[in-house]
Structure 1
Amino acid sequence: MRKLSESHRLRIARTSEPGHIYLITTATWNRTPLFRDHACARAVSRVCHAANTWKGARCLAWVLMPDHWHGMVQLDDGDLWKIVGRFKSLASRAVRDVRPRSYPVWQKSFHDAGLRRDVDVKAAARYLVANPLRAGLVSTIGDYPYWNAVWL
């Protein structure tokens, strides 16, 4: 019997429900703190802001940490797996344009959690973008340049 990879097992249960909001986390390859490099972080931030990145969805909030990315994505008619895959592909290309590398930018898979319909979306977004504060990277979120939310 063939053993399923972790990423394949994650895809089996993954659903893409139009209109639903998902919290996404994807880590860099081997948790390398790649985004301590400001050129790499700026390149990925530009990808986060680009409209073509989110075809079939809307990115409501995101934060780029030194070794991972958190996002809050609302699906329109897109497939979650394809949308996150597009983001990771475009971000990888952007990183390689500023810092050529021989190993991947991202781990193969990602973690997602559907936001319950009764959750305050803005409060969840505030929690998401406050990750740099909780990690001790800055003392105020205004000092951290790699995040955004549609409510600003």
Structure 2
Amino acid sequence: MHLLEVQKYLKSNALIVMPNHIHWQFQLLNNNLLPQAIRCFKGRTAVVCREFGIYKLWQKGYYDHLIRDEDDLVKSARYIIANSLRAGLVKNVADYPYWDCVYV
């Protein structure tokens, strides 16, 4: 994910990696299109996972949500970082190690 930021594909705002899915809020940069960014992310992570013997990582497609205003931006980021709480993995967001959010 960091490499996509370095290469100016996107700017990551909020992210959580769950046991069987991820939630990720980001802003596309430099006229990059969402399908290009997703394809690049899935491809790069699949290559790394193959080194560990994981060959089936991603399902086809993805679900997106267009952020319409600042309220939606903050609400979406809060939803993302609270995912581990809703899943019952932790009792406090800070106890879950696989998340990041520029707003917190």
TM-score normalised per structure 2? 0.85
Root-mean-square deviation (Å): 1.6
1:148 aligns with 2:75: no
| Partner of residue 53 from structure 2, selected from 100, 109, 112 | 100
2:38 corresponds in structure 1 to: 84
2:26 corresponds in structure 1 to: 73
| Partner of residue 15 from structure 2, selected from 31, 42, 62 | 62
Q: Distance in 2 between matches of 1:80 and 1:104?
A: 22
1:53 touches 1:90 (CA, 8 Å); kept in 2? no
Question: Alignment length, in residue pairs?
Answer: 101
1:53 corresponds in structure 2 to: 4
TM superposition outliers: structure 1 runs of 4+ over 4 Å: none
User: What one-letter code is carried by the residue in structure 1 that aligns with 2:41?
Assistant: F
| 1:113 CA displacement | 1.3
The structure having more radius of gyration, on CA atoms, is: 1
For residues 139 and 123 of structure 1, do their structure 2 counterparts lie closer, same or farther at Cα, with a shift above 3 Å needed?
same
* 1:72-116 residue CA offsets vs partner (Å, 9 max, x unmatched): 01112211000011111111122222x213x42100111111012
Long gaps (5+) in structure 2:
none
**Quick one: percent identity of the two aligned structures?**
36
Q: Distance in 2 between matches of 1:95 and 1:138?
A: 26
